[in-house]
Structure 1
C-alpha cells in the first residue's frame, strides 16, 4: 500500500481578539497544517501486494478514489476496470484527474466491461501481468458473479504475481469475501484553508478498516499530499473498554 504516510498532529488558523488571523486584515500570514512522523496504513509494509476491498459510502461519494489513488505509485501502468452499471451510476474515469494524485494519463489502461463477470475476468487477467502496477475494479451492486470464489481468485492472483488489487464496491453490501483488507470510505470535512478560514480547504476522507488479516481494525481521517496520505485525526480503537463503550484513540 502507501509507501509514505505521515501523522498530522493538528493545525489551522487561530484568530486573535484584534482580528489577527483574518485574511481580510493586513499583515495576515497563512497557516498550514504541519506534518508529523511517517506512518503506514495496516498492511502497507513487509507483506506482498494483495486484494483490498473498498466500500463507497454512497454511489455519489467519490471519496474512495482519493483514498485509493494516494496509495498507488506511477512506476508501472494502472489498469482500471469499470462494469457498465458502475459507469452509468457513478461516472466514467476522468484521466486528467489522475494528475492530482501524481499519476500520468499515459500510465492509465481503462477497460469498460459489459457486466460484473467480464469486469472480474479483466481484473484477474491484469493481475497476471507483471507489467501492471495495480488493478482497480469498480463493480455496482451485489451481482451473482461476485461471490467468495471470485474474490478469492483475485486475492490469490494478486499475491502470486505481486500486483496490488483494489475491488471498489458501489451500492453494495459487505457479504462474504476473500479480500485481505476491507474498507468503508466516505468523504469528510475539509481541512482549514491556508489563506481563508471561511473557504473549503484540502479534501479529507474517513476510512474504516473493518476487516483485516494480520492487522487491527480501526478508523482514520486522511488527507492526500504530494508524497502520499497523511493522518488528520487519531485512529479510533474499535475494541470496548470495561464500561462497554468504544475507546477513542489507540494505546
Structure 2
C-alpha cells in the first residue's frame, strides 16, 4: 500500500477541486442527453436504406454538438459524402430541406465507390475549414475495415473535425467509432396549430455503444431546430431522459 504522508493529505482536496467536471460526465453509467458539451469526434449511425432516418439524425446530432460547443454560428462549410449506392437508396441532400443556416455552405461529394467515399471523408477531416463532416456508406464493404475506421477516428481527433458516418443497411461490425447508434423513424407529434400539417422529424434512437455513456434508447425530435427527447417517452421517476437497454449489444447479437 502506498505511504500517505501529511503533505499528500494536504494537497488531496486541492487536486480534487481541480478535476474537470467533464471527467465526471465520462463515467460508464453516465446517461447521454442532447446538449452535452463533451461530444465524440467519430460517431456511426446504422439505419435502413428505405428511409431517411440515418441522414436526418446525423444532421440533428451534428447541429446539437455544434450548438453545445458554441459553434452553431460558425460559418465554415459542411462536407457531405455519399457513395453511389446510398445516393440510389435515399437520394442526394435536398438543399431546400436543410436548415436555413446550412443551405449555402454545403459541399456535396458523390463518390463512385466506398473506397472513394472513405478517401473523401478522410481528406475532409484533415481540413480545418470544415465545421463537420457527414458521410453515408451502404452495407459492409471490405474497404470499411477496422483499420479504415481507426484511421477516421485518429484523423478526426488529430484535426478536431467531427464525423457522423451513416451506415445504410449495414450490420454492426468492428469499428473504432466512439459512439454508435441504431435509428428508425418514429411517429411525429401532432402540430400544435395545424393538425393537418406534417409533424417534426422524430426518431427512435438506440445508443448501443459509447465509451462514456451507458446504452439506452430515446425518442428524439428536432422541433424548432433543437434536438430534444420526447417527454412522453422519458422516464419521470428518476429524471433520466432515457430508457436503458439490457442484454448483449447489437454488435454481439449480430455476430451470434
| CA pair 199-225 structure 1, distance change in 2 beyond 3 A | closer
- The Cα of 1:74 is off from its aligned counterpart by 5.7
Which residue of structure 2 lines up, in the alignment, with residue 122 of structure 1? 120
- The Cα of 1:196 is off from its aligned counterpart by 4.9
Counterparts of 1:65 and 1:41, CA distance in 2: 19
Which residue of structure 1 lines up, in the alignment, with residue 186 of structure 2? 188
Which residue of structure 2 lines up, in the alignment, with residue 45 of structure 1? 37
Aligned pairs for 1:77-88 (under 5 A) are: 77-88=77-88
- The Cα of 1:168 is off from its aligned counterpart by 0.6
| CA pair 94-74 structure 1, distance change in 2 beyond 3 A | farther
| CA pair 139-51 structure 1, distance change in 2 beyond 3 A | same
Partner SS state of residue 44, structure 1:
coil
Counterparts of 1:43 and 1:152, CA distance in 2: 26
Aligned pairs for 1:1-251 (under 5 A) are: 41=33, 44-46=36-38, 49-56=40-47, 58-71=48-61, 72=63, 73=72, 75=74, 76-99=76-99, 102-197=100-195, 200-232=198-230, 233-234=233-234, 235-239=242-246
Counterparts of 1:198 and 1:43, CA distance in 2: 31
- The Cα of 1:66 is off from its aligned counterpart by 2.5
- The Cα of 1:154 is off from its aligned counterpart by 0.6
Partner SS state of residue 221, structure 1:
strand
Counterparts of 1:42 and 1:227, CA distance in 2: 12
More helix by share: 2
- The Cα of 1:182 is off from its aligned counterpart by 0.3
Contact 1:55 1:184 (C-alpha < 8 Å) held by counterparts: yes
Counterparts of 2:166 and 2:245, CA distance in 1: 23
Contact 1:191 1:200 (C-alpha < 8 Å) held by counterparts: no
| CA pair 112-74 structure 1, distance change in 2 beyond 3 A | farther
Counterparts of 2:34 and 2:147, CA distance in 1: 24
| CA pair 43-197 structure 1, distance change in 2 beyond 3 A | closer
CA deviation map 1:195-220 (0-9, x unaligned): 35576532311111000011111111
Q: For structure 1, which runs of at least 5 residues remain unmatched after alignment?
A: 1-38, 241-251
> What's the RMSD between the two structures over aligned residues?
2.1
Contact 2:200 2:223 (C-alpha < 8 Å) held by counterparts: no
Which residue of structure 2 lines up, in the alignment, with residue 29 of structure 1? none
TM-score (norm 1): 0.73
CA deviation map 1:206-236 (0-9, x unaligned): 1110000111111110110335201102111
TM-score (norm 2): 0.71
Aligned residues: 198
Counterparts of 1:216 and 1:137, CA distance in 2: 25
Contact 2:78 2:132 (C-alpha < 8 Å) held by counterparts: yes
Q: For structure 2, which runs of at least 5 residues remain unmatched after alignment?
A: 1-30, 64-71, 235-241, 248-256
CA deviation map 1:9-61 (0-9, x unaligned): xxxxxxxxxxxxxxxxxxxxxxxxxxxxxx963793235x41100001x2121
